[in-house]
Each structure stands twice: as C-alpha cells, then as structure tokens.
Structure 1
Amino acid sequence: MRGIEPHRTPMSAGQPAGGRSLGVAVVDPIPIFREGIAAMVHRTLGLHWSGQAASHHAAMQLCEQVRPDVVILDSALDPNCHLAKLLNAGDPALVLVTLVRDTNRTQQYLAAAIGAGAHAIVPRAVDSRRLAEAVRRAHNDRRYIDPALSALTARPKREPSPRAAPVDGHLVQPKGAMPLSRREYQVLQLVAEGLENSGIAKLLFLSVETVRTHVKSILRKLSARDRTHAVTIAFRSGILVPQLDDSAGPPAVQEAVARGTR
C-alpha cells in the first residue's frame, strides 16, 4: 500500500473479558509523532494499533482497506477540514479525533472541524494519558472537547459565504471550498504526486478510461487548462495542502506550490 503502514495487534490478555479493543490509526506528516502515538496505543488497555498515514490519499486508502475504529488527525494536514469530511462520508461509524496545532487554535477552525465530522478536539501538545481518554470519550459519547479548547467552541459570528473568484482569468474556488467528489479528490492527489493515468488506475483499482474521465471532470470543475494547472489551482484555493515533512515532495507538487505562492 502506497504511504500506508497498517498493523493489527491482538487483544491483550489484560483487557476486560468480553471487551472489544478499538483500532486506532494516525494521520500525521511527522514520522516521530506517528511513532509516539503508536507507542501510546500499544501500551493503553483496550486499544490496538491499526496503522498510519502521512497524506490525504494514504489516509483514505488506510480507512478503506483497514477500517480502523478511530483516526487521530493532525489539524495542519487538514486546515480546511476536507479530509475529515471525506473520511466521515466514507465511514459514518468512524471516530475522528483532531489534534489542533497552535496555528489552528481558532474559533473558526474548531467550528469547521466539528462541522466536518470531528468527534473530539484536542490540543496537539496534549499528554498521552489525556489523548487516550479523549479517544475513549469520543468513541463512547461521540463528542469530546478538551477543556483547554472549550472556550473556543462557542458559535462564531456568521459570515457571508465566499464566492468563486477569477485568478489570472480562471475561476478559482474560495479558500476552503471542495468542489470535487471523493474519488476526484483522490485522483487529484495522485496527479499532484506526478502519477500518470495508468499509475493512478493501478493504485485505485480503476480502469485507465475511468481515471481519464475523472481527470476531465477535475479540469472542468477547476476551470484548468491541464493537469499541472489543476494542481496549481488546487493549492491556491486550499483544496490541496503542501507536504509538511522535510521532503520537498514530487516535482509536480514542487512546481504547483511554487506557482501557488507567487
């Protein structure tokens, strides 16, 4: 599996008889942080490790193929809450725990995350005991807000919905808008990684013709001239987010990010 590290751990002998262990996965761009979450899960009674992912596409593959009970999601990897919406739509039973970085610690972001389907909102700097408790509370109650963030969950003032605006003569969706379907979004992610239609078809188990149809739809919806232009527009409008780890990313991503920040 591309970018996915799934793993299933048998229920510990020390767990309550008849109790069901919860499979927990993490979506985060930082390897050492993913390893820390895995260590917390392994030593916590009633939890087992279901895998990790470092990108939106890998996260969707992980949830489709491994189907964890809980996903812990980094807010910086999902600043517009697109991934939370897609994961929630793909599996309504999935419990989403969003770890909020300081840069996303705003009333607007928390409201967007809850609206996108997040069941728990927790500071990224939380200790392992509180994170384990948040996972349990989110699964049992379907809603948990860490006390450190509760003051930010009041309903924000309603603002007019932004409209799509032209950029360089082409229509660009407003920041945070998601005009694409779940499958189109997966295809666009892989286009941004530099894959051709045949490679995308193999990864998504689709025909090349189906991928070609999705690409045409993406170009139409984003008013893009070609694939590279579509990726550029996606980064500009917040549909795609730049990679957050130390690697520069594939050439198509580098070029699109460069264009999108000019």
Structure 2
Amino acid sequence: MLPSGRPAPGVALIDPVPLYREGLAALVRRTPGLRWLGSTGDPHSAVRLHGRLRPDVLLVDSVLDPAGHLARLLVERDPALVIIGLVRDAHTRGNYVTTALDAGVRGVVPRSAQPGDVARVITETCRSRAFVHPELRAKDRPTLTRREYQVLALIAEGLENQHVATELVVSVETVRTHVKGILRKLDARDRTHAVSLAYRSGLLLGCPPVLE
C-alpha cells in the first residue's frame, strides 16, 4: 500500500509480442510501488481488458495505435486512466509524440528503452501525469533557438512581452520577433496555444536541446 493508504497503481499492457508482454510483467512485478494486472496482444480487446481490469496505467505499443484513436476512446471512457505509449523506432520521427499526447496519452518512452528507463517512465508519469522520455523530446518537435526557448519559458510563466523584455534585458520589439518565430515553428495560433503545444510535445518538460 502507498503511504496515503491507496493501493499501488495497477499496470496493464497492450502489445503484440508475447516475449515483451512477459518481460514487462516481470519488470512491473519487481518494481516497488506498482502492481501488474495483465495484458493482451489484441488491440480490439483493449476496451474489454480495460473494463475487466480497470488499470490505473495502460501501456500501448505505438504500432497498435499510431493515430491515437484507441487512446482517445479509452480516455473518454476513463479520464483518470494514464496511458503510456511504447514508441517503435519507426515512430521516433515525425509527429507521433504530438499526436499521441493530443489524443490523451500521458507519457511516451522508446519501446527499446532499457527496463529501468521504462519503469522510471511509468512511475514518473503516474507522479507528474506527463512525461516524455528525453530521447523522444529532441526527435519529435521543432528546435528553438536558445533565446526563443527562454522567451517561451517566460511566457509559460504568465509574463507579458514587456516583462519578458525586462527579464531578458532586450527590447520589446525583439521579444515580439522571437514570439513570431515561436508561433511559426510550433504552428501555434497564439501565445497560449504555443505554451500548450510546447508542454504536450515535451518541449517545456525539462531542458531540451536548442540551437545557439
């Protein structure tokens, strides 16, 4: 039991490879603070599995849900469900992570990651409700300059352009120029949308690599 008296989060898996299912089951069982509930290799039985086991955390192989349709359906049924995408190598580029997060996936980790990394992503996603593995942060989002990232981070804190300019010791016009660049690179409608996209893609979850 957890300190609060609640049971440890129950984990289930949807993956087509029996060996991977067995391996993850063993990993979860030996990870303190997690409970293994079960798995299936058939995405069509995912809804039944969720209804039967009621997991707190559900890991899904990205090849079984590349467009996020299954994730969206399950989250609509159970908003408290934490879905973690196990990202195949073929999906580490392009917009898979953004698509998955938009669909309600809470965390993403390379399917080929070391067991300890997978366990860490499960526990961290349960704790923070959002986690993008570092290997995926740099591959699935636009790259901002260092100054653009600084401006975006300050905007995320609620600062207006004048206050951002004061904080960075630059002109307001310079800040406006950076904001325009951020909106263009993120394909965002406005500042609020840019911040939302940045969090969902992992850009503001940690300290991502940026251009000088």
Same fold (TM over 0.5): yes
1:106-162 deviations in Å (ceiling 9; x for gaps): 23111101111111110011111111111111111110010111113436765xxxx
Equivalent position amino acid for 2:81 in 1: L
Report how far residue 29 of structure 1 moved: 0.5
Residue equivalent to 1:131: 118
Residue equivalent to 1:43: 30
Residue equivalent to 1:97: 84
Residue equivalent to 1:18: 5
Spell out the pairing of 1:45-60 with structure 2 (5 A cutoff): 45-60=32-47
How many matched pairs?
A: 145
| 3-state DSSP of counterpart to 1:131 | helix
Q: 1:65 to 1:19 in 2, by over 3 A?
A: closer
Residue equivalent to 1:110: 97
Preserved contact between residue 110 and residue 152 of structure 1 (Cα < 8 Å): no
Preserved contact between residue 19 and residue 46 of structure 1 (Cα < 8 Å): no
Q: Which has the higher helix share?
A: 2
Once residues 149 and 17 of structure 1 are traced to their aligned partners in structure 2, the CA distance between those partners, rounded to angstroms, is: 33
Equivalent position amino acid for 2:114 in 1: D
Unaligned runs of 5+ in 1: 1-10, 159-262
Once residues 17 and 115 of structure 1 are traced to their aligned partners in structure 2, the CA distance between those partners, rounded to angstroms, is: 31
Once residues 94 and 75 of structure 2 are traced to their aligned partners in structure 1, the CA distance between those partners, rounded to angstroms, is: 21
1:121 pairs, out of 101, 104, 108, with: 108
Once residues 106 and 115 of structure 1 are traced to their aligned partners in structure 2, the CA distance between those partners, rounded to angstroms, is: 16
1:219-258 deviations in Å (ceiling 9; x for gaps): xxxxxxxxxxxxxxxxxxxxxxxxxxxxxxxxxxxxxxxx
Equivalent position amino acid for 2:127 in 1: N
Once residues 152 and 111 of structure 1 are traced to their aligned partners in structure 2, the CA distance between those partners, rounded to angstroms, is: 11
Report how far residue 30 of structure 1 moved: 0.6
Unaligned runs of 5+ in 2: 143-184, 188-212
| 3-state DSSP of counterpart to 2:75 | helix
Residue equivalent to 2:58: 71
Once superposed, what is the RMSD of the aligned Cα atoms?
1.9
Once residues 16 and 82 of structure 1 are traced to their aligned partners in structure 2, the CA distance between those partners, rounded to angstroms, is: 35
Q: Is structure 2 residue 18 aligned with structure 1 residue 31?
A: yes
Once residues 17 and 62 of structure 1 are traced to their aligned partners in structure 2, the CA distance between those partners, rounded to angstroms, is: 27
Residue equivalent to 2:129: 142
| 3-state DSSP of counterpart to 2:121 | helix
| 3-state DSSP of counterpart to 2:98 | helix
TM-score, length of structure 1 as denominator length: 0.52
Once residues 116 and 56 of structure 1 are traced to their aligned partners in structure 2, the CA distance between those partners, rounded to angstroms, is: 16
Report how far residue 104 of structure 1 moved: 1.0
Residue equivalent to 2:173: none
Deviation larger for 43-52 or 17-26? 17-26
